[in-house]
Every structure is written in C-alpha cells, then in structure tokens.
Amino acid sequence: MIFKKNIGLSCRNLALLAISCSVLLMPAISGCSLKKESQIAGRTMGTTYHIKVVTGFFSRLAGLEEKIERTLKDINQSMSIHIPDSEISRFNAIGAVNQPFEASEGFWYVMKVSEKIYHKTGGAWDGTVFPLIRLWKFNTGAQKFRVPAPEEIAELLPQVGFRHIRFQDGRTLSKQIVPLSVDLSSIAKGYGVDQVADLLRKEGFQDFLVEIGGEVYASGRRKDGERWRVGINVPQKDAPPDAVYRVVTLENQALATSGNYRNFFETDGKRYSHIFDPRTGYPVSNSVVSVSILADTCTLADGLATGVMVMGAEKGLELIHKWGGVEGLIVTQTAGTLTDHPSRGFMAQ
C-alpha cells in the first residue's frame, strides 16, 4: 500500500498562525484549530506497520507506542505458527479428535470470521491450507520450491478443510481429524489492524490511519479535513513497490489487497503463485493478479481478498455483490494487459 504524502504546516505559516493567536485573550488560544499528524512505525508479523494519528498541535502521544507494541505482541502470541507455545500452535498440536480447546476471545473471533469466509467462498479461502504450502516448499524462504507429484497432493488433500473444525459453546474448538492444522496468516494482519484501531479509539483518538503489511483501516479524516487517500500497487512483477495503480479515498473503512504478482516461481515455462486453491491442492492459475476489498473491518477484508482471488473474477464479483457492506476491485491480466472488474460501489469511493 502507498500513502499519499500530506504536506505539513511550513515554519512561516506556523509562525503567522502563532502570531494571530497571540493577539487574542489567552482563553481563546485553544480556539485556534491547529492540528498535527504524528507517525508511529515498527515491525510485526514478519512485515512492517505504519500508523498516522491526527491530534491537536500540542497533544502528546505519551505511552501510545508501547501500548501498540503490546497489542501486536499479544496477537502474535495468539496467532503465529512460528511461536511454539502460541495459542494456534497449541491447537495444532492437539493429537486427539474432539478434544476441547478453549479459545481466547480474539482467537475465537478470527476463527469465526474465518469459518464464515470459508463457507461463503465455497472453500476457496481455507485457513487449514498450510500443509499444501509446506509440500510445495513455499514456507522455506529459500527459493527451493518444488512441484509435487499428483499422488502427493492427493494424499494430503483429506487433511485440509476448515469444515473439520467444530465450534461449540463457551468459545470451545475441537478437531474432527488429527492431522489438521490452522494457519491464519492470510487474515491475522487484518485483525491486527482492527485491534490497533480499537486501541486508538479507546485512547480517545478519532482521526487516524493504521496499516500493517499493506492492510489498512482509516478512521475519520486527515488533518486537512479531507478523506484518507490510499494507493493500490500496480499489480505487475516489475513495477516499483511505490507505483500506484488506483487511489482509494477512505473514511471509517478498511481496505485489504491480495496479489500473486510478486511471490511465485517458474519452472518448465509455467508460473506457480503462492496463493493456493485449497480444493485442488495447486496454486491458483486464473488470470486474477490483484483483489482489493473494502469492508467495515480489516479482518474480513483481508481474508475475503484472498478468497476472491481463488474464485476468479466472475464468481468473485458475484460474491462481493451478494455479501452486503462489501465492495471490491478485481484486476485480471491477459497477454500483459490489465483489466479492472470493480463492484458497483467500488469506483464511487
């Protein structure tokens, strides 16, 4: 995601404003509507995060960065498969069918949203697909990809399927097959965005932008009173990381984008992307190169963007129109030409 740069107050303009305030009585000084935009950045979930907060010019953000870091650390401790004692790792390690697992409030929420996306997409999005990613060696980070034999994929497919997770009262989960394992990496960043946004609201902030790994939630407006402007990357492998394809204006809304134009490998003249169709066990091979989803929460937008990529332009757009409260932009590429497939309300943003 690319953020349009906001031009701040120049020293000269700030000085003129200060002079204009100083000639008034002291109680009226607070009436000068000076605003500033503070920025907080860091790393989480194997990527970066950037936060912009609009405040009064003399407001301070004391302790806010530490609270954000603590929130993100707690999410990692719950949902990272790379932490051996994380909540998700403990669930994956369960070695018995129907053994109850009491989930935390956050883990339960993300699992319930995941279940909904799984069913609504007809299994095109599936949080249990990690065994396939591992089989194809997309998890090594060492560019040692491989194309498995068809029988290897066929043997693994019965271990994949969110339908094999049972949801019970009291935030209790259980497996219906022992080998099943969950990976929420395609939805956890969106949840992290939502949680940081909730934290900022509780701290009394109304105007802010939260971005984690390209997934965004925009609340209120910028310091100039305009809606937040967020760029969608050009969905081509050779495009610069800061190249903007479309600019979307946001207010109290989330935007998440999924793409397969950077993370892939080629062999024998065929390209294999890192986004899998859980129903076949193979990387998705339709013409979709990018999907951007607008929704009320980034958790939903994040997971749904990946599901729509797998579904393809026609079925994906049909689902977006049926969902309610969701808009989207699907971009396909044929013979090097990019074609937009926007939902009815997307271009009105």
pLDDT at residue 105 above 90?
yes
Classify residue 67: in a domain, yes or no.
no
Does residue 69 sit within a domain?
A: no
Domain count across the chain: 2
pLDDT-wise least confident of 38-47, 175-184, 233-242, 307-316: 233-242
User: What is the per-residue pLDDT for 23?
Assistant: 29
* Cα 145 to Cα 224: distance, rounded to the nearest angstrom: 48
Chain centre distance of CA 73: 17
The residue among 320, 345, 294 whose CA lies nearest residue 120 is 320
The angle formed by the CA atoms of residues 180, 183 and 185, to the nearest 5 degrees, is 170
Which residue, 185, 203, 233, sits at the end of a domain?
A: 185
Residue holding tokens 């026609």? Answer: 314
pLDDT tens-digit readout, 60-83: 788 999 999 999 999 999 999 999
Same domain, 256 and 177: no
* 213 shares its domain with 138: no
Domain that holds residue 55: 2-61+190-348
**Mean pLDDT (the chain, rounded):** 87
Same domain, 202 and 168: no
Question: Residues 199, 176: one domain?
Answer: no
Domain boundary among 185, 218, 242: 185
Q: Per residue in 155-209, pLDDT tens?
A: 999 999 999 999 999 999 999 999 999 999 999 999 999 999 999 999 999 999 9
Statement to judge: residues 161 and 194 lie in one domain = no
Residue 237 has phi, psi (to 5 degrees) of -60, -30
In a shared domain, residues 195 and 317? yes
3-class SS letters over 244-307: EEEEEEECCEEEEEEECCCCEEEECCEEEECCEECCCCEECCCCEEEEEEEECCHHHHHHHHHH
What is the rounded CA–CA span in Å between residue 132 and residue 118? 17
| Residue 42 · residue 69 · CB < 8 Å | yes
Average pLDDT over residues 70-99: 97
Q: Does one domain contain both 198 and 179?
A: no
Q: What is the mean pLDDT of residues 311-317?
A: 96
Q: Which pairing describes strands 282-283 and 101-102: parallel, antiparallel, or unpaired?
A: unpaired
Q: Single out the residue of 85, 160, 170 nearest to residue 125, CA to CA.
A: 160
Residues in contact with 59: Cβ distance below 8 Å, sequence separation at least 6, in sequence order? 36
Domain containing residue 138: CATH number = 1.10.3980.10
Q: Which residue has the higher pLDDT, 27 or 105?
A: 105
Write out pLDDT tens, residues 262-283. 666 667 667 777 888 999 999 8
Residue 141's pLDDT band (boundaries 50, 70, 90)? Answer: low
pTM of the model: 0.86
Question: What is the SS3 string spanning 42-104?
Answer: EEECCEEEEEEEEEECCCCCCCHHHHHHHHHHHHHHHHCCCCCCCHHHHHHCCCCCCCCEECC
Question: Is the same domain home to 273 and 342?
Answer: yes
My answer on whether 204 and 326 are in the same domain is yes
- pLDDT-based confidence at residue 5 (cuts at 50, 70, 90): very low
Find the mean pLDDT for residues 117-126.
97
Sole residue written with tokens 């699907």: 330
Question: Are 195 and 180 part of one and the same domain?
Answer: no
> 325, 231, 309: which is closest to 274 by C-alpha?
309
Is the residue at 130 inside a domain? yes
Please give the structure tokens belonging to residue 327: 């808009």
CATH of the domain at 8: 3.10.520.10
Give tens-digit pLDDT for 9-45: 333 333 323 323 332 333 333 444 588 999 999 999 9
